[in-house]
Structure 1
């Protein structure tokens, strides 16, 4: 039985899915339970010579994919979360200090993320004023960061965005829509400042 058939089977049995989820995830801490995290090296893919610093918070349950390419690094104090979607990081890519990445996110090869960047494919629903925001669920829209991209410190990449190859995102930019290849974008919201 492959992973996809297991997912379909679990979707057809919501009570079993809820039970398994409670055994895997600590709802208060919003992360996998300690006895799951102990076995993370068995279900995470880490390429040759890749590094994940000890202080990184790896919220990576085994039912989603985490893949870190060859010669890639996740630096100190980052948070990587694949609870709602896979996180795929290519080869020769550096995830800088203090980054937050919430899947589904695909990051290409030779990408550099500076410090304190947020890349989140998850957004909370809030349209009903009579219901607590926490009770309204969330929407997910995958993010793609193509090869040879540089993202400056404190940038925010919002759900559904695709960043084209050989692009630069200026420090502090808030990217709300797709970035064409070979572009430099800056601002809140980010707009193209020049073509590279």
Structure 2
């Protein structure tokens, strides 16, 4: 039996290891984890910049990978506590973004400011039990290559934004957006798609 399997199968040992990695009632990893553990588990591409005021709540038991020449701006939060976060090449994570895995972001993606995308939802089926004790459900968010997401947009769990698409500022995306589309509103709806014959964006 592997070390990880042993830890997972022993509740007390699992609780102790969790405490060693994260202070109780917090999401941030301990400093020693950031300095001495994460660099061996997570991949950061060449020329990539993660700004100093970014909150990196990343832990070794879920993947965090970021490709070449990508940027994570100040005041963004990246959290892989319940699911992996993978960011491609030449992508920009804007100021104040919140990304909670599982999230996959492709290449050449632009995320403007204050965007929230969370692959995590809290269960809430029993009103007599606090929400935080009822567990979570996760569903991967995928932002495909060459997308632009406008400021203050919200991308909900399970959504895929197809390649070469634009999501307008302030949109709340609750359903997947097909490739080569422009989506606006709350809930977001597609208002334009790219027409390859006319080589223009046309209303739908």
**SS state at 2:107 partner:** coil
**SS state at 1:32 partner:** coil
Q: Give the aligned partner of residue 162 of structure 1.
A: 160
Stretches (4+) displaced over 6 A: none
CA distance in 1 between counterparts of 2:144 and 2:154 reads: 16
CA distance in 1 between counterparts of 2:147 and 2:120 reads: 22
Q: Does 1:30 align with 2:24?
A: no
Instruction: Work out which of the two has the higher radius of gyration on C-alpha atoms and give 1 or 2.
Output: 2
Q: Give the aligned partner of residue 69 of structure 1.
A: 67
Which of 20, 40, 53 in structure 1 is aligned with 2:17? 20
Q: Report how many aligned residue pairs link the two structures.
A: 193
Instruction: Extract unaligned runs of 5+ from structure 1.
Output: none
CA distance in 2 between counterparts of 1:161 and 1:7 reads: 31
Instruction: Extract unaligned runs of 5+ from structure 2.
Output: 195-204
Q: Give the aligned partner of residue 187 of structure 2.
A: 189
**SS state at 2:158 partner:** coil
**SS state at 1:119 partner:** strand
Q: Does 1:126 align with 2:124?
A: yes
Q: Deviations over 1:39-67 (max 9, x none)?
A: 33343211010000000000011111111
CA distance in 2 between counterparts of 1:101 and 1:131 reads: 27
CA distance in 2 between counterparts of 1:13 and 1:29 reads: 22
Q: Does 1:180 align with 2:178?
A: yes
Q: Give the aligned partner of residue 111 of structure 2.
A: 113
TM norm structure 2: 0.90
Residue 6 (structure 1) shift? 4.7
Q: Give the aligned partner of residue 11 of structure 1.
A: 8
Alignment of 1:49-60 (within 5 A): 49-60=47-58
CA distance in 2 between counterparts of 1:27 and 1:146 reads: 36
Residue 33 (structure 1) shift? 1.2
